[in-house]
């Protein structure tokens, strides 16, 4: 039994010593090694606090003869909706939040791109459902209209078709 145990430990020792450890990279090399290969992120770097989680919601559109790769997303610093084109790497203002005059919770763009449905003043109902006020925004006319007259955060669901 002792011989068997000694054999197993020596075998484990050989396996451990034959395993190549990663070579630390110099700080000034950026994202690539000296050979031009992409540098891998280490476990310590992943949990160093230099990385953070970020989430954004985009809505791909095909209105106005836009090219494939055009989407609308909220600007990270303001509630303004931006039109982004990943082919040309350019952006433009789609809906200026200052023109809306409301604080919206969510939005949905009509397939033609002429109208946007906004929800505001949400009141949580159960888990992921809520009551809200709904508005339609005319992109061309830049006019905001209540979806239901006299609503007071009591409309549960609306869709933009």
Q: What pairs with residue 134 in β-bridges?
A: 119
Spell out the residues 6+ positions from residue 54 whose beta carbon is closer than 8 angstroms to its own.
Answer: none
Q: What percent of the chain has pLDDT over 90?
A: 1
- pLDDT value of position 32: 59
Cα gap 85→90, rounded to integer Å: 5
pLDDT (tens digit, 9 = 90+) per residue, 60-106? 887 666 667 888 888 878 888 888 888 888 888 888 888 888 888 88
pLDDT (tens digit, 9 = 90+) per residue, 125-150? 777 778 888 889 998 898 888 887 87
The residue-averaged pLDDT of 101-129 equals: 84
- pTM of this prediction? 0.59
Least Cα distance to 70 among 88, 85, 89 occurs for: 85
pLDDT (tens digit, 9 = 90+) per residue, 48-59? 888 877 777 778
**First and final C-alpha spacing in the chain:** 76
């Amino acid at each position: 039994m002792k011989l068997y145990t000694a054999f197993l430990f020596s075998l484990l020792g050989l396996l451990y010593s034959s395993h190549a450890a990663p070579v630390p990279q110099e700080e000034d090399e950026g994202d690539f090694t000296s050979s031009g290969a992409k540098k891998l992120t280490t476990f310590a770097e992943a949990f160093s606090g230099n990385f953070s989680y970020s989430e954004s919601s985009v809505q791909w559109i095909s209105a106005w003869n836009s090219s494939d790769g055009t989407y609308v997303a909220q600007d990270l610093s303001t509630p303004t909706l931006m039109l982004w084109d990943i082919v040309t790497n350019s952006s433009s203002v789609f809906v200026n939040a200052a023109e809306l005059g409301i604080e919206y919770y969510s939005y949905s763009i009509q397939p033609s791109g002429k109208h946007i449905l906004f929800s505001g003043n949400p009141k949580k109902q159960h888990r992921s459902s809520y009551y809200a006020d709904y508005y339609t925004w005319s992109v061309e006319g830049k006019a905001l209209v209540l979806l239901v007259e006299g609503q007071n955060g009591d409309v549960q669901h609306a869709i933009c078709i």
